Structure 1
Amino acid sequence: MARDIVIWPHKVLTSATQPVMDFGPALEKLLAEMAESMAEAKGIGIAANQVGVSLRVALVGREDGTFFEIVNPQLLERSGKVTLEEGCLSVPEEWEKVPRFEKVKVRYQDKAGQWHETEAEGRLAHVFQHEIDHLDGHVFVDHLSNLKRTLIRERMNKLQKSQVRKKD
């Protein structure tokens, strides 16, 4: 079952997540719920804290529609510079150009706890960095000017208030 996506600046999005220690059925269930939430929102990636769970788990979408399930990821190498337009499921309807590294090498565990390393470039590298930022307690707006971040925060606060009213 899909979980609700948390809207920034909720505290769970601004705090670093905890490493996964239990690679059992609870992790499988969380990954399935995250996949459903991401699909419903038509996203290309999602981190566990975006559905209110402060664990170091994310899904990173490939261009073919499949995704990496990454647990306890680490950025090992970064090179080049690129600026691409970026959005976020937790900051809906907001798109801004964000500087990132063009190529990255990432080490992560799969849902069974096995370690993997992968290299990515272009849009895939961008998504890896975006999701790992989430796990570190950062949202793409943290890369923007104070003015842009303040304006987006005001819009998200209004959105959160309107969602609360709809639930009442």
Structure 2
Amino acid sequence: MARDIVIWPHKVLTSPTKPVTDFGPSLQKLLDEMAESMKEAEGIGIAANQVGEPLRVALVGREDGTFFEIVNPQVLEKKENVTLEEGCLSVPREWEKCPRFHKVKVRYQDKTGEWHELEAEGRLAHVLQHEIDHLDGHVFVDHLSSLKRTLILDRMKKLQKVKARQKD
């Protein structure tokens, strides 16, 4: 079942997440709910805190349209600065140019707890950085100028109020 996606600046999105220690059925249930939420929102990645769970786990979209989980990820290397157009499920309808890296090397666990290392570039590197940022308590607007961030913040606070009224 899909969960609601949390809108920035909700506290769960601005705080670092906790490491995953339980690789049992509850992790698989969370991954399934995250996948449903991401599919409904037509996303290419989602972090657990975007559905309200402060855990260090995310789903990352590959170029071929498939997804894989990253649990307790660490960025080991970043190379070649690049600026890319970026949006976010937790900052809907906002797109801005964001500084990232063209290549990254990431160490992470899968849903069984097994460790992997991945060297990625291009779109995959971009999605990995975006989702790991979420797990570290950052959203892409943190990389923008204070003026752009303030303008987007005002729009997101209005959106949060509209969503709250719709639930009542």
TM-score range, shorter chain: over 0.9
The equivalent residue for 2:84 is 84
Taking the TM superposition and a 5 Å limit, the aligned residue runs for 1:2-151 are 2-151=2-151
Measured on the aligned residues, the alpha-carbon RMSD in Å equals 0.4
Give 1:59 deviation, angstroms.
0.5
- CA distance in 2 between counterparts of 1:121 and 1:143 reads 20
Aligned-partner SS, 1:119 = strand
Question: Which amino acid in 2 is paired with 1:132?
Answer: I
Instruction: Report deviation, 1:47.
Output: 0.2
Q: TM-score, normalised by structure 2?
A: 0.99
Secondary structure at the counterpart of residue 73 of structure 2: strand
Deviation at 1:63, TM superposition (A): 1.2
Partner AA of 2:45 in structure 1 = G
SS in 2 for 1:102: strand
In structure 1, give the amino acid aligned to 2:68: F
Structure 2 CA distance for aligned equivalents of residues 149 and 84 of structure 1: 17
Aligned residues, how many? 168
Question: Could you tell me how far apart the structure 2 residues matched to 1:157 and 1:139 are?
Answer: 15
Alignment TM-score, normalising by the size of structure 1:
0.99
Shift of 1:33: 0.3
Identity %: 82
Segments of structure 2 that go 5 or more residues without pairing to the other structure are: none
Q: CA deviation at 1:111?
A: 0.2
